[in-house]
Amino acid sequence: MNTDFIIGLAGQAVFIALKVSAPMLLLGLVVGLIISVFQATTQIQEQTLAFVPKIVAVLLALLLFGPWILTSLIDFTFSILDNLYKYIG
């Protein structure tokens, strides 16, 4: 294993982390923006009103995208272990 391999592996790890977290972050961002517009138009300044819908949206995104996230992480882990096996063997 040389430094180029390690840097490439770190880059892949960062990319997979961003790819896996993107659906939950984007859905939370959209719901937060909608709630903020609703609060601004109705002049309701309740702090808890912003948190509950975002938590529910992130949990729904996790349920919806969970199998895809798990498959992506398993594929990445398999590629790491396969490269390790090729290096050792």
pTM over 0.85: no
Output the pLDDT for position 88: 81
| Greater model confidence, 36 or 47 | 36
What integer is the mean pLDDT of 54-69? 95
Residues near 61 by beta carbon (within 8 Å), at least 6 away in sequence: 23, 24, 27, 28
Name the pLDDT band for 18 (thresholds 50, 70, 90). Answer: very high
Cα 83 from Cα 1, distance rounded (Å): 10
